[in-house]
Structures are given as C-alpha cells and as structure tokens.
C-alpha cells in the first residue's frame, strides 16, 4: 500500500480573480536635514511615544497565544503528537476545530498556512492539530488512513485523535457539542475515517483533496487515489455505517473540497465522497442549489445544506487558500497551499463558528443496511404520563444521556434531569448509569442497577 504521495513541487493554481483588494503599502520617507529646535522637538516626541509604548506593553497579556504541544492526553495507540492553539481570551464553552495536515507536512505547517488561525482568533475557537511524524516512510508524515490498525473505532490513530478531543474538551472546558474536523489529502482521508468511526464526537467535517472511508479494501494494495472505484452510494454508505454498528445518533454534516486538476488524488474521489455521505445522511444526490464562487469554484448543496461539494476548476492537489486581508481571504500560498479561494472561511461558516449560522445535528436516517442492535439506548424510554411501573436503568456517556433527554449540561458539566445529580464533564468519555424513578426524573445509580 502506498500512502498519499504529497511530496514534490507544488502544482500551478487556476487563474484567480483580478485583485480587487490590493495590499496596503507604507510609503517610505527620504532622510532630510532638520533645524536644532526641530530636532529637540522630535526627540521629545519620540521619548513620549516610547513611554506610551512601554505603558501599552504593560497592558498586554503576559502570554501571546501560540501553538502548544500537549502530552499525556491518553494511551495514544496511534503514536501521534498533539498540538493545541487557544486564542487569548478563549471563553469557557468555546467550540474547536480538529485540523489534520497532509503528507510531508507538520502540524505547524498547517497551522501557519491553511488560514485556520485567522478565524480561530476572529471568532474565538480552539484548534486541535494532531501530527503524524515518521521520517522513515515515503512520503513522510502521512496519517495511516489505509491501514486496518488505524481506521477502526477504539484503536490506532483513530482512537488517538478521539482521545485528543476528549482531553481538550475536558481540560480547556470546550463545548463537546461543537467540535468539527477538517484535513488535507492523507489528513482529509483521516477526516473521513473520524467522521465514520466517531460520528458522536463531531458536529461537522470537511474533507479537502481526500478519499472516501475504506476506499482501500482490507489486505489489498488497490486504492481509489488514481481513479473511481465501482461502488454504489449505498455500498459507500454501508462502509461508514459498519464503522460504528448500531449507532443511531445524529451524523456530522460534511463538506467536500476537490481540485478538478488534482494529479495526486483523482477528482473522482470528490464525487465518491459526496455519494458516501449523502447516502449516510439520507439526502439525495441531486443538488438543492448550485452557486458560483471565486477562483472558478462551484458549490453544490445537498439536502438542507447537509452536504456541500466544492469543485475548484483548474486547481491541483492542496488546500485552497487566498492570501489577503479581506474578510473572505486567508492563508499563505506555497507547496500544497494553493492560491485560489479561502476554504477555511467557507468551512468556518459551514461549521457555524462565525456567529451567523448555527448548524443543528443531522437526524439519523434509516440506513440501507440492517445494523446490529444499539448497545445503549439513544432515546429516553417511552413512558406514559403515569408513573413508571418498573425501574428503568440506562448506562451511557454523559453526552448520550443529554441527547436522550435523561440529563442536561450547564457550563460544560452534566446533571441528571429531575434529581440534578452532578455527573461530571459533558463528553463521550465519562459514563454513568441513571435510574428513572418517575416521569422525567433520573437519579445516579452507578453500581446499583
């Protein structure tokens, strides 16, 4: 199996729109002679400015936000590094975006060039940047989206990334209901892995120049990188549903970005990703709307904006960026950061992080394959208005309890409905047993049912 060969020289980008927002340049001032009195006045003015600068410096935060490396976030069976960016003044209950780099890249490369930092600072959300470092592989630093050991729930790199999310939501008091994920190339393929194996962790995702979940069959060297794989949308969807058998909760909304001149990951993969996630989310493959965006980009929306498909004409293999200072511009152009359109701007809006939209979780559609029974109920037991005739006990994560109406969250913590019993952090890792003793009344019953 050959991982995504993201190494090499950058591809040329499609012709951009004419620059309508030229960068502001500070004009230079040639030196000139001044009189003694003017010189004295100038020195006095500069001294005053220096004092003001000192005072302003004292008013700044003691630490400017930067990329932080985190250790001890879990068992880390995938052997990944964890990096976090928390903008200064990040409030409790803030959302977060998990951002996965491509092959030959590092977490810092993606942080510095993709444009995500701009919007994290602007809208006050955290960034979680997993990192795969392996200089012995070719190409280096690829997430292992093609290896069985790393693409299943509860093991390998997939579990490592899930542990990072759990650690960050608990340690930094982030909102576990507003975690999104994105990634480029091998990171995009790994994003599809996480959307399939941990749909309970993410509200939305964006796959950039990536591949469908399980496009590389087990124990096979074939891959859909070079062209289409003959699968129906239902077959693609079945692969996702089988990643978490019995899951009946909400599914993340999905955006797909693909350059139409991608020489590394064939553009057919964008279509297959669209087919995979429209099927999983239960929406048709006929766009409900089509929009023309800058740099020859076509945006197709499916369902109630449940799935988006961005096709960038003439763009090769990389993350779409659009350097500049305008609201819809971001990033730094370079190898695999292609100067076309600011994908982070559109994904920030799609994820509902800009304050103008609040995406709701997608309802879980009826799957086309018959899943195994859900191990834990995902909805409150049906009950009549009369008292519950017998004791009902449910063991689930704090997140699942709130989704099912057995508990509620406040300030990042979970409390049982009715009894208001404290249950700890609101996430998918803390698990409790609740016992229903009356209509809408639940008590902690760990070890008692």
The catalytic residues are 185
Q: How far, in Å, CA of 37 to CA of 140, rounded?
A: 64
- Which residues, other chains included, contact 334 with Cβ-Cβ below 8 Å and sequence gap of 6+? 10, 113
Two structure tokens written together for 107: 């977490």
Relative to beta strand 126-131, strand 96-100 is parallel
Q: How far, in Å, CA of 305 to CA of 357, rounded?
A: 12
Two structure tokens written together for 298: 């076509």
Two structure tokens written together for 31: 């030196």
Q: How far, in Å, CA of 208 to CA of 317, rounded?
A: 9
Q: How far, in Å, CA of 303 to CA of 289, rounded?
A: 9
Strands (E), 202-346: 204-208, 253-259, 289-293, 297-302, 307-312, 319-321, 337-339
What is the per-residue DSSP string for 381-442? PP--SSPPSS-EEEEEEHHHHHHHTSEEEETTEEEETBT--EEEE-SSS-EEEEEEEETTEE
Q: Let me know how long the chain is.
A: 449
Report CA 332 to chain centroid distance, whole Å: 20
Q: How far, in Å, CA of 414 to CA of 177, rounded?
A: 13
Are 246 and 375 spatial neighbours (Cβ–Cβ below 8 Å)? yes
Beta bridge partners of 297: 293, 312
Q: How far, in Å, CA of 213 to CA of 199, rounded?
A: 13
Give whole-number Cα distances, 31 to 28, 34, 39, 44, in Å: 10, 10, 13, 19
Query: Is the alpha carbon torsion for 101, 102, 103, 104 positive or negative?
Result: negative
Are 353 and 95 spatial neighbours (Cβ–Cβ below 8 Å)? yes
What is the per-residue DSSP string for 159-228? HHHHHHHHHHHHHTT--TTSEEEEEETHHHHHHHHHHHH-TTT-SEEEEES---TT-S-TT----STTS-
Are 170 and 425 spatial neighbours (Cβ–Cβ below 8 Å)? yes
């Amino acid at each position: 199996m050959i991982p995504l060969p993201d190494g090499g020289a950058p591809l040329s980008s499609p012709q951009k729109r004419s620059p309508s927002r030229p960068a502001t340049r500070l004009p230079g001032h040639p030196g000139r002679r001044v009189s003694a009195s003017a010189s004295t006045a100038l020195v006095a003015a500069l001294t005053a400015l220096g004092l003001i600068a000192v005072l302003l410096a004292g008013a700044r935060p003691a630490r400017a936000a930067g990329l932080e490396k985190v250790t001890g976030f879990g068992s880390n069976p995938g052997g990944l590094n964890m990096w976090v960016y928390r903008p200064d003044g990040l409030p409790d209950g803030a959302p977060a975006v998990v951002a996965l780099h491509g092959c030959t890249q590092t977490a810092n490369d993606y942080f510095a060039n993709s444009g995500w930092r701009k919007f994290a600072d602007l809208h006050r959300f955290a960034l979680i940047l997993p990192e795969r470092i392996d200089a012995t592989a070719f190409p280096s630093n690829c997430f292992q989206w093609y290896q069985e050991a790393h693409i299943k729930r509860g093991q390998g790199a997939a579990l490592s990334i899930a542990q990072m999310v759990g650690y960050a939501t608990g340690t930094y008091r982030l909102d576990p209901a507003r975690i999104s994920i994105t990634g480029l190339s091998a990171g995009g393929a790994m994003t599809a892995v996480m959307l399939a194996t941990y749909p309970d962790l993410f509200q939305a995702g964006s796959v950039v120049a990536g591949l469908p979940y399980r496009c590389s069959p087990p124990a096979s060297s074939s891959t859909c990188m070079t062209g289409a794989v003959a699968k129906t949308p239902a077959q693609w969807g079945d692969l996702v549903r089988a990643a978490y058998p019995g899951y009946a909760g909400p599914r993340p909304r999905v955006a797909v970005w693909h350059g139409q001149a991608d020489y590394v990951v064939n553009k057919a993969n964008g279509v297959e990703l669209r087919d995979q996630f429209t099927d999983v989310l239960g929406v048709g493959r006929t766009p409900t709307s089509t929009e023309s965006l800058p740099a020859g980009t076509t945006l197709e929306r499916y369902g109630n904006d449940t799935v988006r498909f961005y096709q960038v004409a003439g763009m090769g293999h990389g993350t779409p960026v659009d350097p500049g200072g305008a609201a819809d511009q971001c990033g730094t152009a370079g190898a695999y950061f292609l100067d076309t359109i600011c994908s982070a701007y559109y994904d920030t809006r799609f994820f509902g992080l800009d304050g103008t939209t609040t995406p709701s979780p997608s309802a879980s559609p009826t799957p086309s394959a018959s899943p195994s029974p859900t191990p834990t109920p995902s909805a409150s037991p049906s009950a009549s208005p009369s008292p519950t005739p017998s004791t009902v006990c449910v063991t689930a994560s704090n997140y699942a309890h709130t989704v099912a109406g057995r508990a509620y969250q406040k300030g990042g913590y979970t409390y049982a409905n009715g009894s208001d019993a404290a249950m700890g952090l609101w996430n998918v890792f803390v698990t409790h047993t609740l016992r229903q003793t009356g209509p809408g009344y639940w008590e902690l019953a760990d070890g008692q049912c």
